[in-house]
Amino acid sequence: MVGMDVGFENPLFASIELSYEEVDKDPHAEPPQKMLTLYEMDLGLNHVTRKFADAVDHSAHALIAVPGGVDGPSGVLVCCENCLVYKKQGHPDVVCAIPRRLEMAQEKGLLIVAHATHKLKDFFFFLIQSEYGDLYKVTLTHDEDLVSEVQVKYFDTVPLSNALCVLKTGFLFAAAEFGNHALYQFQGIGTDEEDPMCTSSHPHGAQALVAFKPRSLKNLMLYDEMPSLSPIIDMKVLDATGEGKPQLYTMCGRGPRASLRVLRHGLAVTEMAVSELPGKPNAVWTVKAGDPRAMGRWGTGVLGRQLCKTIGPQSVGSGRSRDIFPLALLDSRECKPHDWSCQSWKILREFVNAAIGALNWCYGCQVSCLQSSRRTAAQRDVLQRLVSRCVDFCNRLQAPDAGSWESLTPDWVPLPQRPEGPKYGGLCAEKVDVLPQAGVCDPMPCLPPAVQQLVNCEQKMFADAPKGLEVFEDVADAERLEYIKLVVRQLRAKQLGLTTKPRGGGAVIAVGKPGGKRQRVVWHGRRVSAAAVRPPKPRHLASPTALTFLECKQGRQIRCSKRDASCWFDQLALPADLGRWMGRPRVSQRELCSIGGMTVEEVQACLLPGDLLDASGLCPVSLTWPMGFAWSSYIAQEFLLDVCRAADLDESSILSCETATPMSFELAFAAATDDVMIFSDAGEGGTLQAARNLDAEMQKRGIIRNTAKDVNDELVATCVGVALEQGTHLGVPSARCLAMMVSVVHLLSCAEASPKQVQQQLGVQQWFDLLRRCKLSVYNKVYDFIRDPHDTRPRRLPHEALFELGIGMLLGIFWQVDLRKPFLPLLSATDASTEFGFGGSIARLPADMIRRLARISEKQGDYVVLDGGTSTKPAKRLGQAHQLGLSLDDFVDIFSVKSRHSAHINVLEGEAFLWWLRWILRCRRRHCSQVVVLVDSSVWLGAAAKGRSSTRLNRLLRKAAALEMSGDLQVYLILVPSAENASDKPSRGIRCSAKFASKLQSNRYVVPCNSPK
């Protein structure tokens, strides 16, 4: 029986009835007919009358009321085997078959066991469930009270339910007949025309056969589950585990959802975290949580106390702030991703709030300022991106497979198992790659003449070398046998020679390669490097920062080809004069012959000119540039750049922090000592020809490639440790991300490490911080702890150092870089003055011109001058001048603010930069963009380009980092002479009333001053 929807008429009730009166009197009588009967309750007379009766199919088993009044035609849907029938007094029956599973027998009936009705503003539909768990969407086509068609469409398949309920918030609750109840969230309402559907207009009517195959959820998404024991098939009570209390063992459910559940008396608890204590505890106390929005709940108590400190005076006015900070923490389901369950979101929300607290700390907000308030549109935009980044970070932590990340974790981090063994030590000669012939490439012709003279003369290279360099650490006894075998292999490959009179040397260290199957041997040349002349900085060395200059225009993707030289340093011949300074632990002739199988003639052939065979001991020396010597990286990079130049990879297309960014990314490349990475946004195959040219040049010079590492025109690649993801993003590989997190958690839990260990962890984090250089400003006190990075004595880590390591890892959510960010079509300028305060100005320019201007950002002192005769004398600077086709009249002031305190001019310049960032982020349309700003302080520009400072500027850099990361900005700073800074007047309190030019002149340009216009 169901109540019908009749609007404001007398209530009607419909029921399916079967009269047994005739059968009771005569068992041989005809089977009774099922009837659909309508009963009306007369509200005036207060009694019920039978109003209507009509025969229905004998298989009728359920009724569904159809909305009436203004919402629909009223009536009922009668559920029969294999079909639905729409019935209403005075209306012809409308019959529609129900789609059925492909494997169902044709003679087998299909019953409906549950249903739900959902009414929206303009239409309604029904969800019905068959006895197999299949959901169907039922819709009626009607014109006022006349129903012309019934449609039944396959919707989804869920476990069999006793009842269904559609909530107005977009959820479906299914009270399961067997097993846990489920809450689903609607992802769609079944509008896909490809889904199987049957209509009442089908020529076969109720006998129509429309088949389908069940599929995974498409229109629904499992949101949450409510545990249920129903039905309990069997139960036993016994103490099977010997706990002293009996447990209840129950068999629940049926079929694939059956389960064995163990019930224990007591309160239900969920283990959230396990943390080892650094000492032996003797008591445990509970501490009042206080304000639930406080950051003290994240991490350790150390982090909580540090985040609760006041970094600087900060107050919040009573009105609504237009700034991003202070940013209140998330409450309840605010910004909750739709595909996360409430329980999972509760955990993720703590992580997001920790990240919000970290940004507030960087900006210098007091915890007391973090009260909830109505958020601005810009703040909501920041929070949505922050949640998205946290979800991505969590996915990265869960992505690595077992055995893929352990080798990336330092040996001092205890792990349950290390499938690949320890990273350092355990030398195995057969695991070390040795070339068939070493030193076949001569890098000398590629070097500048002055460098050639230096490296070819040991008197010049080691002019001030101290005594005692020939005495160094020997190889460990446990590794001596493998060391002898390795020396023999390297002697035969002409990688090593032998001498009896070494002048310098160092030990060798075995370092495991990722995968655990191979090793590399690193020569410990720190003392020899310190005695040599300081080498030049390697030119155009690729780094994560250089990769962020890549730009992926709309509709394009960055493709990458990559080439790697095998044992690159071993292929580069060392000048003969320097060989005796590259000594290694001594060996004897007897060891080389008995263990390595060398003959005496072979040993003599390996002696350097002028040396005689000495039975007392021989010192292996390198004949190639050894990994571990300070000059080796410079030599290898110069030779690699020469190879690229010969392969038509011009330096104008190179990605580096020293040269202007390429004008186009149809072909660009980066070089990193032994790797060449070729990039292109020209579509599929854009990098292949350049890669072929490089292969031919390497083959011509006899360079041996590591073909196993070749990458050919892929959207996914790993470049200098950074992952190129789908050709549009840069990020940290998931295995590396998990290894760093485990290492930081270990440091936070034990709070004890040596400076060398902390330096190792900090170095890895800071390498990926180069994707967001502003993030380097987080670290300050930790540098005091690692003042001697070679100190291996474990000691207690200061709270401040622990805190900075934790915050640095937490803000790793900003390591991902979107290469699709557009350039903001604004050129900004900031300035400060000691007599007044801060000023900022902007000029509208096409995005292409801004892009060209960004190419020279922070490049070796380059600067711009305006085209308006604003400076009577050209500025005398070290870098190259670039003329900007603008005048001061093209700029308009955006702020002119008086300073509240006196400070050094460089500090004020930083404050002006912060004012500009705050202005940029007030409009969410300016978020997620690349912006260019002119500054006239080379000190502030240098500090901002570096990402950190050891002076008071670091506090301002940290605030700027909070703004840049929260707004997802990529900022390019360019130097401009003070006399040509458009914001000079507003910084002195002189406001300009000029308006934006309505049109842009077509002849504006950015060219070097010594180039023709």
Let me know whether 913 and 1001 are in one domain. yes
Token pair for 484:
């002898």
**Residue that is last in its domain, among 602, 628, 654:** 628
* Confidence band, pLDDT 50/70/90 cuts, at residue 581: very high
The arithmetic mean of pLDDT across residues 338-357, rounded, is 90
Cβ atoms of 730 and 722 closer than 8 Å: yes
Q: What was the pLDDT predicted at 31?
A: 80
CATH number for the domain that contains residue 916: 3.30.420.10
Token pair for 612:
């005689």
Strand order in the sheet with 124-130: 112-119, 124-130, 134-143, 146-157, 197-199
Token pair for 1011:
């180039």
Let me know whether 242 and 154 are in one domain. no
For residue 844, the one-letter residue type is R
First CA to last CA distance, the chain: 89
CATH number for the domain that contains residue 18: 2.130.10.10
pLDDT tens readout for residues 514-523: 777 888 899 9
Let me know whether 200 and 247 are in one domain. no
Q: What was the pLDDT predicted at 612?
A: 86
Let me know whether 780 and 879 are in one domain. no
Q: Which residue has the tokens 């946290």?
A: 390
pLDDT tens readout for residues 770-786: 999 999 999 999 999 99
The arithmetic mean of pLDDT across residues 749-768, rounded, is 95
Strand order in the sheet with 837-844: 892-898, 837-844, 823-832, 930-935, 970-975, 863-866, 881-884, 1006-1008
* Confidence band, pLDDT 50/70/90 cuts, at residue 279: low
DSSP 418-439: -TT--SB----GGGB---SS--
Alpha helices in 564-631 (DSSP H): 589-594, 600-605
CA 33 to chain centre: 67
Nearest to 501 by CA among 609, 626, 630, 632: 609
Q: What was the pLDDT predicted at 305?
A: 37
Mean pLDDT of the chain: 87
Let me know whether 620 and 750 are in one domain. no
Token pair for 343:
């329980």
Q: 3-state SS string over 790-833?
A: CCCCCEECCHHHHHHHHHHHHHHHHCCEECCCCEEEEEEEEEEC
**Residue that is last in its domain, among 607, 628, 649:** 628
Does some domain include residue 293? no
Q: Bin 745: left if φ > 0, else alpha if -120 < ψ < 50, else beta.
A: alpha
Q: What is the DSSP letter of 674?
A: T
Q: Which residues contact 830 (CB under 8 A, 6 or more apart)?
A: 838, 839, 840, 909, 912, 913, 915, 916, 933, 934, 935, 983
Q: What was the pLDDT predicted at 282?
A: 62
Does some domain include residue 701? no
Please determine, for residue 312, whether its predicted confidence score (pLDDT) is greater than 50: no
Task: Supply the pTM of this predicted model.
Answer: 0.69
pLDDT tens readout for residues 881-900: 888 888 888 899 999 999 99
Give the DSSP H or E segment for 344: helix 342-363
CA distance 807 to 257: 44
Q: What was the pLDDT predicted at 291?
A: 37
Does some domain include residue 783? yes
Let me know whether 785 and 852 are in one domain. no
**Residue that is last in its domain, among 783, 814, 845:** 814
- Beta strand pairing call for 675-680 and 668-672: antiparallel
Q: Which of 397-401, 719-723, 908-912 has the lowest mean pLDDT?
A: 397-401
Let me know whether 127 and 252 are in one domain. no
Let me know whether 809 and 835 are in one domain. no
550 or 370: which leads in pLDDT: 550
Q: Please return the burial class of 11, using the count of CB atoms within 10 Å of its CB with bins 0-12, 13-18 and 19+.
A: middle
Q: Which residue has the tokens 């046998």?
A: 481
How many structural domains are present in the chain?
A: 6
DSSP 820-883: TPPEEEEEEEEEE-SSSEEEEEEEE--HHHHHHHHTTTTSTT-EEEESSS--SS----SS-EEE
Does some domain include residue 287? no
Does some domain include residue 519? yes
For residue 220, the one-letter residue type is L
Q: Bin 368: left if φ > 0, else alpha if -120 < ψ < 50, else beta.
A: alpha
Please determine, for residue 605, whether its predicted confidence score (pLDDT) is greater than 90: yes
Cβ atoms of 112 and 129 closer than 8 Å: yes
The arithmetic mean of pLDDT across residues 390-396, rounded, is 94
Let me know whether 849 and 955 are in one domain. yes
Nearest to 914 by CA among 948, 986, 964, 970: 964
Q: Please return the burial class of 644, using the count of CB atoms within 10 Å of its CB with bins 0-12, 13-18 and 19+.
A: buried
* Confidence band, pLDDT 50/70/90 cuts, at residue 272: low
Cβ atoms of 133 and 157 closer than 8 Å: yes
Let me know whether 966 and 839 are in one domain. yes
pLDDT tens readout for residues 820-855: 999 999 999 999 999 999 999 999 999 999 999 999
Please determine, for residue 866, whether its predicted confidence score (pLDDT) is greater than 90: no
Does some domain include residue 728? no
Let me know whether 222 and 360 are in one domain. no
CATH number for the domain that contains residue 487: 3.10.10.10
Please determine, for residue 295, whether its predicted confidence score (pLDDT) is greater than 90: no
Q: What whole-number percentage of the chain has pLDDT above 70?
A: 90
Q: What was the pLDDT predicted at 339?
A: 86
Q: What was the pLDDT predicted at 264?
A: 82
Q: What whole-number percentage of the chain has pLDDT above 90?
A: 64
Q: Which of 694-698, 739-743, 883-887, 937-941 has the lowest mean pLDDT?
A: 883-887
* Confidence band, pLDDT 50/70/90 cuts, at residue 170: confident
**Alpha-carbon dihedral sign for residues 301, 303, 306, 312:** negative
Does some domain include residue 162? yes
Does some domain include residue 717? no
Let me know whether 955 and 825 are in one domain. yes
Domain with 792 in it: 733-814
